[in-house]
Amino acid sequence: YAVIRDGKFTVSGFLAIFDVFITQNRLEVPWKILRYFHYDDDLNLEIPEDVTSPPSAEHTASASDEYPALSSSARKFLTAIFHQFDSDNDGVLSTEDIL
């Protein structure tokens, strides 16, 4: 697998970096990265409640003025990409799906 493509890390490259830190016994680096992206000790993604809770009526009224949002075509595009990689069609992207 390619480690770098178009000057950017691939998933394989990203995992290789983690492997280097772990083999050098620098376990704090991967954990800092995982914590930054809200993963817990069991590697479960902790999604903040403000992301998953429905917007309030007050927020919805002013959302178009204050916050960017995905367009319908962007949602369709991202959904298609997700399904492209969800090889077993279980609605979850596993390691096997993306490697």
Mind listing the pLDDT tens digit for each residue in 78-87? 788 888 888 8
In 25-92, alpha helices (H): 28-36, 49-52, 57-66, 72-85
In whole angstroms, give the CA distance from residue 10 to residue 20: 15
pTM here? Answer: 0.45
Contact indicator for 3, 90 with CB cutoff of 8 Å: no
Q: Answer for the pair 39, 48: CB distance below 8 angstroms, yes or no.
A: no
**pLDDT number for residue 71:** 76
Instruction: Output the pLDDT for position 89.
Output: 84
- Report the percentage of the chain scoring pLDDT > 90: 4
Q: Identify the CA nearest to 31 among candidates 76, 97, 21.
A: 21
- pLDDT of residue 41 exceeding 80, the answer is yes
